[in-house]
Structure 1
Amino acid sequence: MSLYLSFTTLFFLLSSGYAFPLQHRHHPHFATHNYRDALTKSILFFEGQRSGKLPSNQRMSWRRDSGLSDGSALHVDLVGGYYDAGDNVKFGFPMAFTTTMLSWSVIEFGGLMKGELMNAREAIRWGTDYLLKATAHPNTIYVQVGDAKKDHACWERPEDMDTPRSVFKVDVNAPGSEVAAETAAALAAASLVFRRSDPTYSNILIRRAIRVFQFADKHRGSYSNALKPFVCPFYCSYSGYQDELLWGAAWLHKATKNPMYLNYIQVNGQILGAAEYDNTFGWDNKHVGARILLSKEFLVQKVHTLHDYKGHSDNFVCSLIPGSSSAQYTPGGLLFKMSDSNMQYVTSTSFLLLTYAKYLTKSHTVVHCGGTIVTPKRLRNLAKKQVDYLLGDNPLKMSYMVGYGPRYPRRIHHRGSSLPSIGVHPGKIQCSAGFNVMNSQSPNPNILVGAVVGGPDQHDRFPDERSDYEQSEPATYVNAPLVGTLAYLAHSFGQL
């Protein structure tokens, strides 16, 4: 049906008082963006971040095998997993969070993903297969492969890596409750993803999650203390480990339905900071995510002892409403939390808004911000506006997702993308030789399709310079929550 016909028909029907059947769609059906295309690309990105032996169905074909001896320094198999961003280190803390958020994306919105559901599951499994290896020994988690300082002194492809593949672990003597509890959360969340499609794998994941959480809770301590020279300042835990213990318990409660975890949350929630006013959700601080997750138990499952989490979640929502004292937006309308990789907070916040809107809708509830009533529809519109900005509705008319739309970042801070691929240049590119490329103005030869970069500054400016890692570097934890958000938007506009 042509657009002209549909509008004239619509006018006729409206003017004749025709009553429309209410559909369960929350947006009009003409989208300014192809959310389905963006969804496909947001998942494809993870193939560009793979470490290890690549499968025969690898679609990001300029990448090849890498890190095939990872773990050998400590006689363990740590081959696989993801490089977190534009370097060649495997950091377990953000990798686990990425896996949790990919899983949550599928748990909430996987039913809408159609053909992309299989690809999303593959992305999760690439993470969980590695996390199972990293937690194979009781009371021990291998949390990092690669010496970050030495890695950052080189600009080389993962396939050429010759920097030390040092292995770092937490254990009873050097605990790391935040990385352990986040790993438990990832395994528990993923167990829900595979519950129907692969029950055997799901059972392996949940059993491991239970064991890893016990270790996190029993041997309390921050991995930033135990491994400070190696994990800081890269993925130092600034928020402490209390938020991860609450978050991990929330996921184990959801995955096991064991009353032990609900009891744990009720007894420890306040001590673990459930009511704190920290409204930044990302790889370091999980408090807001735990609040939203637990609010569902109260709103939908009617677990009245978790009543407070609705209030805590409402406080988070009220902190975001434009005009509230704590919300900062760029002149172009982008939520702005901090200059270093701000887009990670945009994607994580948008996901939480859509998820909370879903819970509020199911329970016929709204949010009260002082005298203002905030409806689920308003939360969805706020999330959509953020995603639309990311995809190109911004002052620069630039998509911050590589490969989406006509204009996107061409010089991202990413070694594999910026250097010629093995297929084009089979010879080894030495450690420092790559810096000629890093410092050049030439566009990256390999398109890391779907990668979302750190994004513009607070004045909507984006220089597109490779050396500017704060704005130009992509990361797995930027994309992970976006997967669920794009699935929802693609479905609500009839694109899926």
Structure 2
Amino acid sequence: MALSSSSFFITCFTVLFASLLLGGTAYPTTKHYPVRHRRHPHIASHNYRDALTKSIMFFEGQRSGRLPPNQRISWRRNSGLSDGSAAHVDLVGGYYDAGDNVKFGFPMAFTTTMLSWSVIEFGGLMKGELQNAKEAIRWATDYLLKATTHPDTIYVQVGDAGKDHACWERPEDMDTPRSVFKIDKNTPGTEVAAETAAALAAASLVFRRSDPTYSKLLARRAIRVFQFADKYRGPYSNGLKRYVCPYYCDFSGYQDELLWGAAWLHKATKNRMYLNYIQANGQTLGADESDNTFGWDNKHVGARILLSKAFLVQKVQSLHDYKSHADNYICSLIPGTPYSSAQYTPGGLLFKMNDSNMQYVTSTSFLLVTYAKYLTSSHMVVNCGGTTVTPKKLRALAKRQVDYLLGDNPIKMSFMVGYGARYPLRIHHRGSSLPSIAKHPAKIQCSAGFGVMNSQSPNPNILMGAIVGGPDQHDRFPDQRSDYEQSEPATYINAPLVGSLAYLAHSFGQL
């Protein structure tokens, strides 16, 4: 459509102003964001900025180690200060994955990758929350650097999960064994190693301008860790089965992590070696698999979307197949198209499985707004068997999912703790459910906490921003502490939502 001269002038001025506005950010990807898609015409039904602030603050409640002076979730105290001593290494720090007191390396690395991807794509829109997001990432990467200090060895878990789960105690009180588990040449763990490499590589992009020395350290370590992952192949749930299963067993194989790790290393280093690796190994690593799940275990879809950017935006022609692979995934999500296979609850929530379903809602929403960004940059759409799916439609679907999570659902409940008028009060989380050190300085013994866990009393400590597992396939949510499938929060549920909330807050003029 031709523009009148006045319209053309206004458009040019708007683009120039927007580029100046964003020009100083460390995230050049945001300058591809076309201005015409910046603002939704409607008034937002939610305060996405408030939700963004809280979604990042949640990570402070999951911190292990010595807490900093600017800790905002103040009912938490130092914990795990001798972690790693059992193996004569320093493994203090990092995150507890969910409502327990174990540090699982596999989901922690995925959390780090997704927090980093959120900042890479939408950090330029985050304003005051950008620094908080970067601190959340650095809390993880500082730990991952410790866990990968020794070549061909990664410390992948601290804490005996079986014994930890037999206690209901605050992290500050824990007296269960802080056993240390590692992968090495003799006990490989390709999926954990490759995900760790992805996390380090993605984070290196986050810190490239603000802390170039740290960024280079992360990138160098990512390269080394990926070499180890690729050279010594095998699933970690074989050698460490009795310690990591059934908690974070690898069900999807390690091929997806190798492709995902290579994709992130290609993005971070621009080294053609990784592009060659992807071209040579993509098919055998499952690039065209039709599995449409994306989460801490299965990275196939994420790798497809990430690699499609190299084709769509950077014009890497050899990766053109990843656009069609990504499109197939998108078509599976859109109700009413010939290839639609996703299930939704009567209230409209994407539903994958009973256990912690909200992780798939947040990860899918992130992929939708991110792929919409790539498509918009390249003036492309998705064709689903004759049905044209525009970037606008992808954003609308993502917004519906986020709005459901924030309270637009049949039971009118926000599934983010501390957001909205009504939210879960009895989340499955030890530190949140037991009285804080400030209120109850005396130690609470291992089994003493189960009286609280099984009670109907609301949690005394608000774990601000925590997103729980969510409702069942009929939109029901009992708000029972004992129901870990629906009531437990986790770092990998929150991490992808950070990017979606940043996009929504910006697009409604809240940032």
Please state which band the TM-score falls in when normalised by the shorter chain. Answer: over 0.9
Aligned to 1:149: 162
1:238 matched to 2:251? The reply is yes
- Whole-Å separation in 2 of the counterparts to 1:260 and 1:23: 37
Aligned to 1:3: none
- Whole-Å separation in 2 of the counterparts to 1:68 and 1:487: 34
Aligned residue pair count: 479
1:52 matched to 2:65? The reply is yes
**Superposed CA offset, 1:58-91 (max 9, x none):** 0000000000000000000000000000000000
Map 1:72-471 onto structure 2 (within 5 A).
72-323=85-336, 324-471=339-486
- Whole-Å separation in 2 of the counterparts to 1:160 and 1:483: 31
Q: Which runs of 4+ in 1 moved over 3 A?
A: 19-24
**Superposed CA offset, 1:316-370 (max 9, x none):** 0000011354110000000000000000000000000000000000000000000
- Whole-Å separation in 1 of the counterparts to 2:37 and 2:124: 14
When structure 1 is superposed on structure 2, of 319-328 and 74-83 the one drifting more is: 319-328
Contact residue 310 and residue 316 of structure 2 kept, 8 A:
yes
- Give the share of equivalent positions with the same residue, in percent: 85
Contact residue 187 and residue 205 of structure 1 kept, 8 A:
yes
Contact residue 70 and residue 165 of structure 1 kept, 8 A:
yes
- Whole-Å separation in 2 of the counterparts to 1:391 and 1:290: 28
- Whole-Å separation in 1 of the counterparts to 2:363 and 2:373: 16
- Whole-Å separation in 1 of the counterparts to 2:357 and 2:37: 32
Contact residue 263 and residue 303 of structure 2 kept, 8 A:
yes
- Displacement of 1:27: 1.5
- Whole-Å separation in 2 of the counterparts to 1:26 and 1:216: 43
Aligned to 2:22: none
1:40 to 37, 43, 53: 53
- Whole-Å separation in 2 of the counterparts to 1:231 and 1:25: 44
- Whole-Å separation in 2 of the counterparts to 1:30 and 1:349: 24
Residue type of the partner of 2:410? P
CA RMSD of aligned residues (A): 1.2
- Displacement of 1:29: 4.4
- Displacement of 1:189: 0.1
Residue type of the partner of 1:201? Y
- Displacement of 1:20: 9.4
Q: So what's the TM-score if we normalise by structure 1?
A: 0.96
**Superposed CA offset, 1:203-234 (max 9, x none):** 00000000000000000000000100000000
- Displacement of 1:256: 0.2
**Superposed CA offset, 1:163-210 (max 9, x none):** 000000000000000000000000000000000000000000000000
Q: Gaps (5+ residues) in structure 1? A: 1-18
Contact residue 33 and residue 388 of structure 1 kept, 8 A:
yes
Aligned to 2:28: none
1:474 matched to 2:489? The reply is yes
Matched residue SS, 1:305: helix
Matched residue SS, 2:383: strand
Aligned to 2:24: none
**Superposed CA offset, 1:27-80 (max 9, x none):** 124100000000000000000000000001100000000000000000000000
Residue type of the partner of 1:159? E
Residue type of the partner of 1:70? D
Matched residue SS, 1:407: coil
Residue type of the partner of 1:31? A
Contact residue 331 and residue 340 of structure 2 kept, 8 A:
no
- Whole-Å separation in 1 of the counterparts to 2:154 and 2:474: 41
- Displacement of 1:371: 1.1
- Whole-Å separation in 1 of the counterparts to 2:340 and 2:330: 12
Matched residue SS, 1:127: helix
1:487 to 489, 493, 502: 502
Residue type of the partner of 1:85? A
Matched residue SS, 2:320: helix
- Whole-Å separation in 2 of the counterparts to 1:453 and 1:230: 25
Q: Per the alignment, do residues 23 and 369 of structure 1 end up closer, same or farther by CA in structure 2, a change over 3 Å counting?
A: closer
- Whole-Å separation in 2 of the counterparts to 1:386 and 1:255: 30
Matched residue SS, 1:442: coil
Q: Per the alignment, do residues 365 and 23 of structure 1 end up closer, same or farther by CA in structure 2, a change over 3 Å counting?
A: closer
- Whole-Å separation in 2 of the counterparts to 1:329 and 1:322: 9
- Displacement of 1:25: 1.8
1:63 to 62, 70, 76: 76
Contact residue 433 and residue 453 of structure 2 kept, 8 A:
yes
- Displacement of 1:23: 3.7
